[in-house]
Amino acid sequence: MYLIGMPVDFAAENIVSEESIAALVDRFYGRVRQDEILGPVFAEKIGNEWEPHLATMRAFWSSLMLASGRYKGNPMMKHLLLMPRIGSEHFERWLSIWKQTTAEMFPPATAEVFVRKAESMAERLLETIDQYQISLDQVSLGHAFAKSKLS
């Protein structure tokens, strides 16, 4: 992020603002796009339509950190519908990049708030995805069993 031709470093200030959230989201997803684990997942789902995704993520983090109410989506459904299914290795990598990026851009206490929120969100998403997959597997097994009884 640049202001008047100078790079902006939020680590020197203990601020969370729309501007600092936008800079964080942009830097983070720039890294995600290049990541060997996460990049292909995002490329498959988002393709070249990054700006709408970034705008959504800026609104999401603004709502979480500033209580702005800007985010109006359903992150749980977005992640449940991803195919192929994402798992713990994806969330671990996502959190690793998130921790690195927040640590570079904010003082430790502020970065920790971002990280705690991300960890909590990742945990809930992964638990729900796992439960959803178990439900699908049980339905599939039930159908296979019923089919075998008919044969």
pLDDT for 5:
44
Q: DSSP 3-state assignment of 6?
A: strand
pLDDT for 146:
54
Residue boundaries of the structural domains of the chain = 11-150
CATH 1.10.490.10 describes domain 11-150: yes
**How large is the angle between the packed helices 38-46 and 50-66, nearest 10 degrees?**
110
Q: For 82, phi and psi rounded to 5 degrees? A: -70, 130
pLDDT for 116:
96
pLDDT for 87:
73
pTM above 0.85, yes or no: no
67: left (phi over 0), alpha (psi -120 to 50) or beta: left
150: left (phi over 0), alpha (psi -120 to 50) or beta: alpha
pLDDT for 125:
84
Could you give the CA distance from residue 74 to residue 16 in angstroms, rounded to a whole number? 23
* Cis? peptide before 75, omega within 30° of 0: no
Instruction: Per residue of the chain (151 residues), give pLDDT as tens.
Output: 433 444 555 544 448 999 999 999 999 999 999 999 999 988 988 888 999 999 999 999 999 999 999 988 776 656 555 555 677 898 899 999 999 999 999 999 999 999 999 999 889 888 887 776 666 556 555 555 455 555 5
pLDDT for 144:
54
